[in-house]
Amino acid sequence: VPNQTERIMPGNKKNIAYVLSAFPVLSETFIGNEIRALEAQGHAILPMVFDLRQGPAQPADIELAGRVQRISGISAVRALAMLPLLWRAQQFAGQQKLLARRSLLWHALKIAAHARANNCSHIHAHFAGGAAAHAIAAARIAGLTVSFSCHGHDIYAEPEDLDAKFANTDAVVSVCNEMRDDLLAMGCRAPVAMIPCGTDPQGFRPRPRGRNDNGRLLFVGRLVPQKGLDDLFAAISLLSGRMSVQIDIVGDGPMRDYCEEQASRLALEGGHRIDLLGGRNSDWLKAHAPDYCGVCLPFKTAPDGSRDTGPLVVKEAMAMQLPVISTAYMGVKDTVTPETGILVEPGDPVALSKAIVKLATTAAQERQAMGTAGRKRVCDQFTLASQAQALSGLFRSLPGAVMP
């Protein structure tokens, strides 16, 4: 794995194509963050997307979307000019059982043509599904190196022909240590670089000194099973009659109705106050999250295998000096230490309820010390700059790369 503190020299700046299934996506802040961080290093990033979305998104991603190339809009004439090189991707395309071969090859021709026309030397994709398949096929056609980042559902819940992808990529990026071990156990023969998603400590800042927190906990995330919302509500229920829990839930998703029902039930049962605030962008988080006494994020594996492997919200909370209640799970256990938060086993509402009580009864000075330690840990180990430097080092290290 490249040295994360390595500096980028002017001669090492590159043109890199990014292949994305959808962009912008409100809950996938890490993609736009990564692209902007690489550009801040001096690289030219050429994003290409299948589904260019118009819905809610982070403000910075809306701006970035204005220069994202829709793959369907790439010139067919330019793609046909690459046809003599199509044979390079034929074998790989035949190994992708879940994608229509003709469609895969046609879109790969378009991606390859656009990458070559813009002097790209490398293609990178996010998620190990269709985006990775198209990136690999396009790279083979264009004669470029290729890599992809894995995140969660793409390898645990809905793996798609991973053996062929592992055999045909130049590198795979894991966002946490446990995922790296799992990829190797799955038989990945390509180099696996563990590069956690980073955040910008200058963008996520703590509350001004002297201001008291509002005494409330905060949950941020999509309302889906892997976020552990059922465990959160069970833990709060266990505290009925002992203490009244106040928590704001920021996010939206398929479990919205369930969350509303639980909030009403727990209000009647124990006087708990659970407010569902809906989806919010990062500007809201930066403005309001520092006012809370901590975050509660009980991640676990969903019944279908989906999981959050390196949740960025944990690092954003720590950057804002918020103590973290979470689970010893995937990338969270790489991030949160006893000095910065409280970790319990996934799927354990009893332990989670004890953690909530522990944070609530911790002296304000101790909570502040946890927050200070959390911000220091993020600044030392989980910044966007260090992530971009590690990715740059990985891209440079790939054998056979023809760099501009």
pLDDT digit string, tens, across residues 284-328: 999 999 999 999 999 999 999 999 999 999 999 999 999 999 999
Model confidence band, residue 210 (pLDDT cutoffs 50, 70, 90): low
pLDDT at 402: 44
Tokens of 272: 């708990």
Percent of the chain with pLDDT over 70: 96
Average pLDDT of the residues in 368-397: 96
Q: Output the pTM of the full model.
A: 0.92
Tokens of 119: 């002097």
pLDDT at 11: 53
Question: What's the pLDDT tens digit per position in 222-261?
Answer: 999 999 999 999 999 999 999 999 999 999 999 999 999 9
Please state, rounded to an integer, the average pLDDT across all residues of the chain: 94
pLDDT at 55: 83
Domains observed in the chain: 10-198+383-397 (3.40.50.2000), 217-381 (3.40.50.2000)
pLDDT at 207: 87
Q: In this model, does residue 403 exceed pLDDT 70?
A: no
Report CA torsion sign: 344, 350, 352, 358.
negative
Q: In this model, does residue 120 exceed pLDDT 70?
A: yes
pLDDT at 399: 74
Give the list of residues 6+ apart from residue 104 with CB closer than 8 angstroms, or none: 93, 96, 133, 134, 137
pLDDT at 302: 97
Q: In this model, does residue 6 exceed pLDDT 50?
A: no
Question: What's the pLDDT tens digit per position in 43-55?
Answer: 999 999 999 998 8
Cβ neighbours around 191 below 10 Å, total: 16
CB 170 within 8 A of CB 145: yes
pLDDT at 27: 87
pLDDT at 213: 87
pLDDT at 400: 57
Strands 122-126 and 69-70: unpaired
CA atoms of 201 and 375, how far apart (whole Å): 8
CA atoms of 13 and 39, how far apart (whole Å): 9
Q: ∠ CA 354-276-52 to the nearest 5 degrees?
A: 115
Tokens of 101: 């071969």
Q: In this model, does residue 191 exceed pLDDT 80?
A: yes
Q: In this model, does residue 10 exceed pLDDT 60?
A: no
